[in-house]
Amino acid sequence: MLTGLVLICSLAGTPDIRVCSRNNAAMVMRIPADCVHPVPCFMHGQAFLLAISIGQELSESERIKVICVATQTVGASIRVLD
């Protein structure tokens, strides 16, 4: 299973969004749906972001990145978006 994660990355710390990861993101949040394949995982992640107001709360120096990772690697401490 795959879990979608939303990473909020600071351009000051990671100016190249491609290097933004769980280890250097300013905030990591879990999407409340698991998927079997990567494509639905990314689609759920994007759709979920459109449904919440997180994008409106970002500063100009922050960017969002959605990644999909193996569910068993996601720690229980990662907050679930609601």
For residue 69, the number of C-alpha atoms closer than 13 Å in the C-beta half-sphere is: 18
Calculate the average pLDDT of the chain: 85
| pLDDT value, residue 44 | 85
CA distances from 10 to 4, 23, 27, 58, 77 (A): 19, 13, 9, 10, 21
Please tell me the distance from the alpha carbon of residue 29 to that of residue 23, in angstroms, as a whole number.
13
pTM of the entire structure? 0.82
Write down the pLDDT at residue 55. Answer: 63
The average pLDDT across 49-75 equals 82
| Residue 56 confidence (pLDDT) | 65
Taking the C-alpha atoms of residue 29 and residue 10, their distance in angstroms, rounded to an integer, is 15
Q: What is the pLDDT of residues 20-47, one digit of tens each?
A: 998 899 888 888 888 899 999 988 888 8
Q: Does residue 79 have a pLDDT over 80?
A: no
Predicted confidence at residue 2, as pLDDT, reads 92
pLDDT score, position 20: 93
